[in-house]
């Protein structure tokens, strides 16, 4: 059961603010309160952001058969159709009413690193169909990773760790960093309207499973956050889009909506375990250690359709 929806206020972190202590305090408060905050002065130009959204729209405007030719592969690179992903199976009657496109770190097929689960060559639309598309996406991927590493340094300080704690090779030195373009259909005839009471969502309720998610949105409101998942009833609040910022479920009102997500995880072999400053004899770790690649592989398997379901479409 859910109560009425309101709008929330989030802390705003400026990456250009020389007052590091202020940024650390704001980020720590935000993480303890909701896990969400705005990021400004990040150095990504509005021109590039506009270009990424424009190029994303061009791809999703392609005929479905052309998009299916770039269906995501076993490395989770490429196109994900409507209903491919289901993030809240207990409360959703169908998958998410969104389509997406995964772009990871480009690793050539003949590189030994390409054998790792989340490394390998990306799938790219042809230059004849979408000229400049790859160049724009690779530029944004590089810029977003730079921003994520800057945020990780503030997170480290908020956790009473050394500022460069997450810069280590086994952490963000060789990260799993994934750009995901997202599109929610709109229009009077095709636009899907969410109905939480009946389990219909643009994106079901979920917590992201990486270290940092940067989320750039268009001007269409749809993102909601729940600060206390155990509350009865749950309270969901809208997050207002902010031009030039990066930031959960998505509720649709029938309008077309685009967003650009950037997921940052540590290296494949990084052991994910309780941080040294977050445990003690009286407060031992709650979960056993696990490698990042093993954890991510299971989460992708849990939330995405089996690729064999599309075998007839990608002959």
Q: What are the tens digits of pLDDT across the range 274-283?
A: 999 999 999 9
pLDDT at position 185? 76
Residue, of 258 and 52, whose pLDDT is higher: 52
Residue 270 has pLDDT above 80, yes or no: yes
Residue, of 231 and 111, whose pLDDT is higher: 111
What pLDDT, in 10s, does the model give residues 96-111? 778 999 999 999 999 9
State in words which class domain 6-310 has.
Answer: mainly beta
pLDDT at position 248? 37
Residue 243 has pLDDT above 80, yes or no: no
Residue 242 has pLDDT above 90, yes or no: no
- As beta bridge partners, residue 100 has 80, 182
Out of 155-159, 207-211, 216-220, 303-307, the most confident range is 155-159
pLDDT at position 246? 39
Peptide bond into 233 cis (omega under 30): yes
From its phi and psi, is residue 207 left (phi > 0), alpha (psi between -120 and 50) or beta?
beta
Question: Would you list the DSSP string of 147-197?
Answer: HHHHHHHHHHHHTTS-TTGGGSIIIIIS-EEEEEEEEE--STTT--B-BGG
The mean per-residue pLDDT over the stretch 21-46 comes to: 90
pLDDT at position 4? 37
What SS3 class is residue 39? strand
Q: Where are the domains of the chain?
A: 6-310
User: pTM of the full predicted structure?
Assistant: 0.83
Q: For residues 25 and 168, what is the distance between their CA atoms, to the nearest angstrom?
A: 24
């Amino acid at each position: 059961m859910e109560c009425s929806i309101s709008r929330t206020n989030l802390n705003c972190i400026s990456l250009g603010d020389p007052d590091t202590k202020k940024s650390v305090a704001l980020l720590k408060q935000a993480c303890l309160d909701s896990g969400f905050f705005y990021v400004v002065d990040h150095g990504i130009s509005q021109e590039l952001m506009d270009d990424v959204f424009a190029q994303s729209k061009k791809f999703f405007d392609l005929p479905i058969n052309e998009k299916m030719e770039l269906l995501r592969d076993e490395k989770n690179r490429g196109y994900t159709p409507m209903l491919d992903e289901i993030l809240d199976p207990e409360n959703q009657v169908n998958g998410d009413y969104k389509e997406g496109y995964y772009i990871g770190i480009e690793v050539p097929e003949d590189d030994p690193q390409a054998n790792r689960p989340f490394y390998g060559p990306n799938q790219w639309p042809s230059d004849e169909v979408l000229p400049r598309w790859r160049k724009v996406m690779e530029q944004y991927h590089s810029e977003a990773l730079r921003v994520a590493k800057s945020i990780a340094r503030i997170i480290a300080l908020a956790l009473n760790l050394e500022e460069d704690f997450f810069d280590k090779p086994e952490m963000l030195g060789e990260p799993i960093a994934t750009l995901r373009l997202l599109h929610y259909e709109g229009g009077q005839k095709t636009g899907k309207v969410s109905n939480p009471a009946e389990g219909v969502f643009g994106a079901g309720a979920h917590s992201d499973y990486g270290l940092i998610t940067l989320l750039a949105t268009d001007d269409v409101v749809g993102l909601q956050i729940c600060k206390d998942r155990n509350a009865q009833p749950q309270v969901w609040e809208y997050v207002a889009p902010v031009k030039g910022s990066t930031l959960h479920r998505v509720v649709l009102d029938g309008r077309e909506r685009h967003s650009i997500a950037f997921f940052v995880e540590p290296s494949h072999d990084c052991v994910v375990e309780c941080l040294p400053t977050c445990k003690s004899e009286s407060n031992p770790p709650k979960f056993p250690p696990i490698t990042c690649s093993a954890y991510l592989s299971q989460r992708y398997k849990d939330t995405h359709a089996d690729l064999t379901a599309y075998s007839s479409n990608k002959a």
